[in-house]
């Protein structure tokens, strides 16, 4: 009889340990455990494969319920604090730029505008229309439409448009995977990582149809965000790895395969992250303000005169976004040799002070 009691007790203990382990490994969309957060601001992180630098903005999760609003250079991983008194009681879930500024949405649906100079938050209102926890925003600069994804009580994603004048969300579809973040890329589609199956999905904004892209290659958990840099045509993510060691990472995401490449390891959690991308469109007018691009058309060389602009990054890309050539931190006038590229249409992109300006050029024989 004693042996039976011992076996029963052992069985209950094993069941308890199994349930506990499952709970610890379950997916969560909010703050990472305080015990996993470094609770210190690291202004410079180790990074690799550094290309062009772009300024982004992040909310940095510190000791509960405090948070910090910072600028963050991508991908060289330099953080500069702007406002260290953010209240994270209602957890920030996603952040995106529109022509009206930077906006953040919290887990209770509250939408606020952020002054990027001071980090001061101005509450706009509460989102209605789709019940659940908003986890991702994506803004289409060509159409002026904001999209939102909301997880219901069963962690099913509900994808829809969000009218920013009324903060009313209109559902378009239910998706696949526990969508934790999303953003537009230069192909007109939205890309979204899921933290339950750790895959990247492609979303058609018109129909809301989710298409599997591929595995991320990391076990992700908790609140995180992604943002596309139209200047370098790169999807970046401030992700959180659920291994208890790696934790917060800055990464690039291959939107063709889903594969994540770690660029830096800031350790702490950055649940919201946004790169200013006013437009992915091309200015077909004769000039870009303050600049001169000539000759156009050209046979072999194009000159870019920045005028009064300073420290600009200049990219020559194909019409589908492939980078042909680039120069960083440019002042004054510079030239690009296009003698070895095929004739056709290309794009000159000038990125400076959180603005990306674009213009078509033509290479002729």
Q: How far apart are CA 28 and CA 181, in angstroms?
A: 13
Can you give the pLDDT at residue 279?
A: 46
Q: pLDDT digits over 27-71, tens only?
A: 777 777 755 555 444 433 343 333 456 789 999 886 666 789 999
Q: Which option is the CATH number for 34-274: 2.120.10.80, 3.10.20.90, 3.50.50.60, 3.30.70.20?
A: 2.120.10.80
Residue 44 carries which DSSP code? B
Does the fold of domain 292-363 match that of domain 34-274? no
Can you give the pLDDT at residue 52?
A: 53
Coil, strand or helix at 199? strand
- Tell me how many degrees the CA angle 84-88-91 measures, rounded to the nearest 5: 140
Can you give the pLDDT at residue 228?
A: 94
Coil, strand or helix at 24? helix
pLDDT tier, 167 (very low <50, low <70, confident <90, very high otherwise): very high
Residues with Cβ within 8 Å of residue 243, at least 6 apart in sequence: 219
pLDDT exceeds 70 at position 328: yes
Which architecture does CATH list for 292-363? Sandwich (2.60)
Tell if the pTM clears 0.75, that is, is over it: no
pLDDT tier, 110 (very low <50, low <70, confident <90, very high otherwise): very high
Q: pLDDT digits over 43-54, tens only?
A: 333 433 334 567
- Tell me how many degrees the CA angle 237-243-249 measures, rounded to the nearest 5: 25
| Domain map (residue ranges) of the chain | 34-274, 292-363
Can you give the pLDDT at residue 198?
A: 97
pLDDT exceeds 90 at position 315: no
């Amino acid at each position: 009889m004693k042996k039976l009691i011992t076996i029963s007790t052992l069985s209950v203990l094993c069941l308890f340990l199994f349930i506990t382990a499952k709970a610890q490994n379950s997916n969560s969309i909010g703050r990472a455990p305080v015990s996993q957060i470094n609770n210190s601001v690291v202004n410079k992180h180790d990074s690799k494969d550094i290309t062009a630098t772009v300024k982004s903005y992040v909310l940095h999760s510190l000791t509960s319920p405090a948070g910090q609003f910072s600028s963050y250079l991508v991908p060289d991983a330099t953080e500069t604090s702007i406002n260290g008194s953010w209240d994270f009681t209602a957890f920030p879930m996603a952040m995106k730029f529109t022509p009206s500024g930077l906006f953040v949405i919290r887990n209770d649906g509250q939408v606020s505008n952020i002054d990027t100079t001071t980090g001061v938050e101005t509450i706009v209102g509460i989102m209605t229309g789709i019940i659940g926890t908003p986890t991702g925003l994506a803004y289409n600069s060509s159409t002026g439409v904001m999209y939102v994804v909301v997880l219901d009580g069963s962690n099913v994603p509900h994808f829809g448009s969000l009218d920013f004048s009324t903060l009313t969300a209109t559902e378009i579809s239910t998706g696949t995977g526990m969508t934790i973040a999303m953003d537009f890329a230069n192909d007109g589609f939205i890309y979204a990582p899921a933290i339950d199956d750790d895959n990247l999905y492609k979303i058609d904004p018109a129909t809301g149809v989710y298409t599997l892209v591929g595995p991320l290659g990391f076990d992700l958990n908790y609140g995180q965000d992604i943002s596309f840099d139209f200047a370098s045509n790169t999807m970046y993510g401030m992700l959180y790895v659920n291994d208890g060691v790696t934790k917060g990472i800055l990464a690039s995401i291959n939107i063709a395969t889903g594969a994540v490449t770690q660029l830096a390891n800031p350790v702490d959690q950055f649940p919201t992250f946004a790169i200013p991308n006013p437009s992915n469109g091309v200015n077909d007018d004769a000039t870009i303000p303050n600049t001169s691009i000539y000759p156009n058309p050209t046979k072999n060389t194009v000159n870019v005169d920045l005028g009064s602009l300073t420290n600009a990054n200049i990219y020559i890309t194909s019409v589908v976004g492939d980078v042909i050539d680039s120069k960083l931190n440019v002042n004054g006038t510079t030239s690009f040799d296009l003698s070895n590229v095929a004739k056709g249409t290309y794009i000159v992109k000038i990125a400076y002070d959180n603005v990306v300006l674009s213009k078509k050029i033509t290479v002729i024989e």
